[in-house]
Amino acid sequence: MDDKAIDLRSDTITRPTAAMRQAMAAAEVGDDVFGEDPTVNRLQARVAELFGREAALYVPTGTMGNQIAVNVHTRPGQEVIGDAQCHIFNFERGMYAKFSGVVPRAVVTERGFLQVSDVASALAPDDQHLAPTGLVVLENTHNMKGGGVYPQESFQAVVAFAHSNNLPVHLDGARVFNAAVASQRPVDAITKNADTVSFCFSKGLGAPVGSMLVGDKEFIAEALCVRKQLGGGMRQVGILAAACQYALDHHVERLAQDHDNAQRLARALSACGVEPDPVDTNIVFFTTPEDDAHAVVEQLEAQGVLSLALNERRVRFVTHLDVSAEETARACEAIKRVLG
């Protein structure tokens, strides 16, 4: 891949900054499987406090965090209610079925955000022929819905309804810090009352590796055992946790710059007569006029801009730490040359 290209395929492609690398090199480490890595322990305590939860667990990936949550919250043969395009159902290789023995109850929604009526209609009645409902999963921001931010009133109403039906709620918050910055509210406020939350350090926050799962102490104790089953117990992982600490110190508020750059890309598309999906955070989706998304991606690449074709008509841009305002301006000019 051309290092000089403006890479808008994903916010997972960011590279550690020089200062982050220095923090990693200086990290105090120990064996985390023995619970003796001080940098990991400090990170987990800090994240638990940030999210207003009792405990937190460092895991290698967001997928692992989500699948641990599904496994601990459910038992085999149950259904999990979620939006039809949520990450857990679509982009985690069906692990909910293979590892936890549960099946999805996928609900089609307008912008990926379940409402109380959606959950109510998806609940399994008490019938010997039917799989009982075991869990509700939500997503904020919603990847496949253009980084949309879950309206807080709707989120809290769904959580309250699920709890009134004795159902736990897991929030896939891979980009929850984007949601917090866009909402101008702290992460503990926008995730309040969800039983568990997962989020990624390796997307907009710019760390090379790592995600976190938060919940109460009993849940995290079980999650630790499931992490071991999945091979997620690592050793001197403080080297990676130090990057995550640095990200929390330096890369949260700057997410607003990514959101601004995404809006600039959206305006460039609109100027070309290609109306993008609503843009809340750092993800921009648009539909090509013809079935030529792959051709558009190739033409943009020839102009030095990398993007992602999701199917024959859908293209995605994602802004991030490694794309500056000046590079965004250049990407906008390339968009105008290709689509204008």
Q: Do 41 and 113 fall within a single domain?
A: yes
Same domain, 271 and 242: no
Residues 271 and 216 in one domain: no
HSE-CB of 294 using CA atoms within 13 angstroms: 3
pLDDT recorded at residue 1: 46
Judgement on whether residues 245 and 307 belong to the same structural domain of the protein: no
Q: What is the pTM of this model?
A: 0.96
Q: For 268-287, what is each residue's pLDDT tens digit?
A: 999 999 999 999 999 999 99
Q: Are residues 152 and 26 in the same domain?
A: yes
Cα(175)–Cα(71) distance, integer angstroms: 22
Q: Which residues contact 21 (CB under 8 A, 6 or more apart)?
A: none
Last residue of one domain, picked from the residues 207, 223, 250: 250
**Residue with more model confidence, 111 or 148:** 148
142 plus 260 within the same structural domain: no
159 and 130, same structural domain?
yes
Q: Is residue 6 part of a domain?
A: no
Q: Into how many domains does the chain fold?
A: 2
Q: 194 and 99, same structural domain?
A: yes
**Contact yes or no for 112/172 (Cβ under 8 A):** no
With respect to residue 7, please indicate whether it lies within any of the assigned structural domains: no
152 plus 235 within the same structural domain = yes
Give the single-character DSSP code of 18: H
In a domain, residue 156? The reply is yes
CATH of the domain at 277: 3.90.1150.10
Does residue 79 fall inside a structural domain? yes
Beta bridge pairs of residue 317: 284
| Mean pLDDT (whole number) for 230-237 | 97
Is 115 within the bounds of a domain?
Answer: yes
Could you tell me the pLDDT band of residue 340, with boundaries at 50, 70 and 90?
confident
Q: How confident is the model at residue 3 (pLDDT cuts 50, 70, 90)?
A: low
Which of 250, 272, 288 is where one domain is finished?
250
What Rg, from alpha-carbon coordinates, does the chain have?
20
Domain extent, residue 305, equals: 254-339
Looking at 18-22, 200-204, 290-294, which range is the least confident one? Answer: 290-294
Q: Which structure tokens are listed for 58?
A: 């460092």
Domain of 130, CATH number, reads: 3.40.640.10
Query: Could you read off the pLDDT of 298-327 as tens digits, one per residue?
Result: 999 999 999 999 999 999 999 999 999 999
95 within a domain of the structure (yes/no): yes
Percentage of the chain exceeding pLDDT 70: 99
Residue 2 has pLDDT above 60, yes or no: no
Can you spell out the DSSP letters for 267-308? Answer: HHHHHTT-PPPP-SSSEEEEE-SSS-HHHHHHHHHHTTEE-E
Nearest to 161 by CA among 134, 125, 143, 136: 136
141 upstream amide cis, omega within 30 of 0? yes
Read off the DSSP letter of residue 314.
Answer: E
Q: Please report whether residue 5 resides in a domain.
A: no
Q: What beta strand segments (E) does 1-63 contain?
A: 6-7, 55-59
8 Å CB contact between 204 and 258: yes
Same domain, yes or no, for 64 and 98? Answer: yes
Both 245 and 264 in a single domain?
A: no
Taking a C-beta distance cutoff of 8 angstroms, is the pair 177, 187 a contact? Answer: yes
- Sign of the dihedral through C-alpha 317, 318, 323, 328: positive
Residue 304 placed within a domain: yes
User: What's the pLDDT tens digit per position in 243-273?
Assistant: 999 999 999 999 999 999 999 999 999 999 9
How many CB atoms are located within 10 Å of the residue 32 CB? 22
Cβ(79)–Cβ(111) under 8 Å? no
**In the listed set 233, 250, 267, which residue is the last one of a domain according to the structure?**
250
Residues 69 and 159 in one domain: yes
* CA atoms of 155 and 176, how far apart (whole Å): 13
Q: Which band of pLDDT confidence, cut at 50, 70 and 90, is reported for residue 289?
A: confident
How far apart are alpha carbons 225 and 208 in whole angstroms? 25
